[in-house]
Structure 1
Amino acid sequence: MIRVKLKSKLALTGAATMAALFLGLNANAARMDMVDVSNNNGYMSTAEYVSMRNEFGVKAVTVKISEGGTYKDPYAASNIANVQAAGMYINGYHFARYATKTQAIAEADFAGKAAKAAGLPIGAVLATDVEAEEQNNQSKATNDRNNATFMKEIQKFGYRSDIYTSGSWANNKMTIKAKTGWIAAYPYVVSGKNWYSTNHAWQWSSTAKFRISYGGFDVSQLNSNYYTAGQKSTVKPTNKGAVKANNQKANKNTSKPAALAKWVKESKTYTLKTAVKLRAGASTSSNTIIVLPAGTTVKTDQAIIQGGYRWVRQPRFNGFGYLATGPASNTLEYVKSGVTHTYYTVKYGDSWWTIAQRNGLNMTTLASQNGKTIYTTIYPGQRLVVR
């Protein structure tokens, strides 16, 4: 959702990945029933939503409302208004940062008020997007308690509740019961299998393309009417032929699946020869927990090669941290210094989103690799690392 990304966004479960390797292509397998959008997608016009509806069969749109306890998505109000003008169902989501019950209540109150102000209609779903490092560091029981608290509180604003998370977190980091939940898991090849059919929705791609809209979008198949209930939609797709053809195209993925990476035991002590980012996951798009300075000693328990890097896992008092020890092609026990970077000079009118899109990056990744967040102001003439 947030594209880390995150919008990562979320990793495919190991079992599901293995299943995808053996399942053939069925172009009619997954439908583009719902799209979720946020500030990452920029301003979205009514015409774009009409195109999604008429040419791709999109029924519902879920827009980002807020994040944590302070951030309100600046495009929430325009997205809600334009989706409604296009005649589609509208819902919202809040990117959760809570780690305690008190924080969950505070974030629900913040999200509910933000949704009201943005015009999200009563009866819409206001889901909690649970995929951040704050929840990764909690027990399943704690996450279950916090999620239940958030959802109970959000209902006081007249909204229906649900949980969005990844397939690898569902019933692992938190409980997702049947007939609830919006689950993200991206197969290499969409097959005849309807994943997560007992849940409300399955998000099967984060890179879907629409004819008159720029960039990639998260798309989901709806397995129930939960995200289309309680709101009136009188407008239907007008081009059934285009809907069928475009859905077939979206389902196709010609890229070959990579070999499945596996964690292996590795009890080693590393002394860092340069500063290294300790991350919440084994990915360059994962959030940075802390920057470890040169000279730091790191004790690890596991290692893996994936995403072009060799990663090691560091046990911590409240979970694990992950750091890259170098490119996957070498076995150096430290991160090389003196890496050559490619820079981009910020121009007038640029934003984190436009620069990230221009360079094929996730917006959060672009900001983090420059030691900043997407909320940091950038100025013309400023140099940013893009490679």
Structure 2
Amino acid sequence: MKTVSKLLTVLAGAVMALSFSVGTYVSASTQSYGPDWSKYQGSYGKYGTSKDQFVIAQVGGTYGGYYVDQPTYRTQVASAIAAGKRAHTYIWYQVGGSTSLANAALSRFLPRVQTPKGSIVALDYEAGASSSKQANTNAILYGMNRIKAAGYTPVLYSGKYYLAEHTYYNQINSAYPTSLWLAGYPMRGIQTLAPFRYFPSMDGVALWQFTDNYGTTGLDGSVDLTGITHKGYDGSYKTATGKVVVKPKTSTSSIKAGQKANSTPKSALKAGMTVKVNLSAKKWATGQAMPSFVKGHTYTIKQVSGNRVLLSGVMSWANKSDVELLGVKTPVTVSYVTNYAQRGVFKPRYTVNVRTGMGTNYRITGHIGYGAQVLYVHVYIKGGLVWAQYHSYSGLRYVAMGKMGGQSYGTRTVY
């Protein structure tokens, strides 16, 4: 998530001491922790510690008028609900001081939010600010107003010094008190608890992102100081088996998928399902100590035997009690796709359209003809077509490589 914010508080000396009592916000016993996710955490995300209670996933973002959808967002929301976590949303909001860009970004991403009404939709404003503080402030307020009007809880993510340099933050805090998600990393190395003695004092902080090494390298971790991550949820409960179930106030397709996975008994686990290894797991089903790099990660079940599941990738047996189901749908094997690798070179046999998304309804931005080639990074199946995703100078683009069971559009050189 972070670029500028990582520079904010690398040195503890650059961070102001805690100037308020944490109890002023919420007692230590009710503070909650959680990570934020983008595509770098994969389709099902990952956690920093076993105490995590919420997740904030990126639905997409805009970079000065160029838009990127996060392909991992929907499954991340579903997997968070399946794991009994409160799921929330954030948008990369590089609109500078332009309310027209802000309008386009919110019009694109708000309809795609899969977390419940009332949940957090945060604007990640940490890059691309214009030279006008007032214009930047207006663009942020415009976005927060749109989020509120859509029925969600508006939150602003940024760093203390970035806001001071580029905005009139007092106007934002006046309109939306205690709606700031503040980034500041006073300590390096792996962190699992917020070091409150180094809190970067600032008005209106609801969430503090205190590390980008939350339990593991490269994972952002935040602490909820005010209970704001409970927005959109009517509490939670534990089942007889100890499974946590959250109660979203409204539903979406991702929430329904997560609830279905959460309610599926472990006796129903079967090959092809996706599971996460619990951080509390200690040993493999065969008795050997389980290495830490396995815990918290997701795997596909390759085989089931009694109370054990064989995990693909690591090819080791885990106890069913040590895994958590994240997806109830088993993958569909389509033989004609086996020749498509996740990375390779596509050489069209005739001219194909380049589009902004996977579907013929997406905007055409150009063409690739015979004799050219595309170095693709991922392959997806959607709408009866096999789509290649690749990086262009303007961002991610997509071309159709082949039809479902039909004639190929070109040849592939597989890495």
> If the TM-score is normalised by the length of the shorter chain, which range does it land in?
0.5 to 0.7
Query: What pairs up with 1:1-387 in 2 under 5 angstroms?
Result: 1=1, 7-8=2-3, 10-13=5-8, 17-19=12-14, 33-44=33-44, 55-68=49-62, 70-99=67-96, 100-115=98-113, 119-133=114-128, 135=129, 137-174=130-167, 175=169, 177=173, 179-188=178-187, 191-193=195-197, 195-196=199-200, 198-209=204-215, 216-235=218-237, 348-350=341-343, 372=393, 375=396
Asked if the contact 1:92/1:120 (under 8 Å) is kept, the reply is yes
* TM-score, normalising length: structure 2: 0.49
Q: Which amino acid aligns with 1:193?
A: R
SS at match of 2:154: coil
Greater relative CO, 1 or 2 (CA 8 Å, sep 6+): 1
Aligned length: 240
Change (3 A) 1:123 1:21: closer
State the alpha-carbon separation in 2 of the partners of residues 128 and 220 from structure 1. 15
Tell me the equivalent position of 1:272. none
Instruction: Report deviation, 1:180.
Output: 2.2
State the alpha-carbon separation in 2 of the partners of residues 232 and 96 from structure 1. 29
Instruction: Report deviation, 1:207.
Output: 2.2
State the alpha-carbon separation in 1 of the partners of residues 10 and 68 from structure 2. 35
Asked if the contact 1:126/1:159 (under 8 Å) is kept, the reply is yes
Query: How far does the alpha carbon of each residue in 1:154-210 deviate from its partner, in whole angstroms, 9 at most, with x for none?
Result: 222211101101222123212153622101111135744151465011111112235
Q: Which amino acid aligns with 1:57?
A: K
List runs of 5+ in structure 2 lacking aligned partners.
19-27, 189-193, 244-278, 281-339, 345-374, 379-389, 400-410
The CA RMSD over aligned residues, in Å, is: 4.1
* TM-score, normalising length: structure 1: 0.52
Query: How far does the alpha carbon of each residue in 1:245-288 deviate from its partner, in whole angstroms, 9 at most, with x for none?
Result: xxxxxxxxxxxxxxxxxxxxxxxxxxxxxxxxxxxxxxxxxxxx
Instruction: Report deviation, 1:110.
Output: 1.3
Query: How far does the alpha carbon of each residue in 1:101-137 deviate from its partner, in whole angstroms, 9 at most, with x for none?
Result: 122122112111111xxx221111111111122x2x3
Higher Cα Rg, which structure: 2
List runs of 5+ in structure 1 lacking aligned partners.
2-6, 244-346, 356-366
Q: Which amino acid aligns with 1:228?
A: H
Asked if the contact 1:109/1:154 (under 8 Å) is kept, the reply is no
Change (3 A) 1:156 1:180: closer
State the alpha-carbon separation in 2 of the partners of residues 122 and 172 from structure 1. 33
State the alpha-carbon separation in 1 of the partners of residues 82 and 235 from structure 2. 10
Change (3 A) 1:192 1:125: closer
State the alpha-carbon separation in 2 of the partners of residues 208 and 14 from structure 1. 16
Asked if the contact 1:60/1:88 (under 8 Å) is kept, the reply is yes
SS at match of 1:168: helix
Asked if the contact 2:16/2:199 (under 8 Å) is kept, the reply is no
Change (3 A) 1:20 1:181: closer
Change (3 A) 1:188 1:374: farther
State the alpha-carbon separation in 2 of the partners of residues 230 and 9 from structure 1. 30
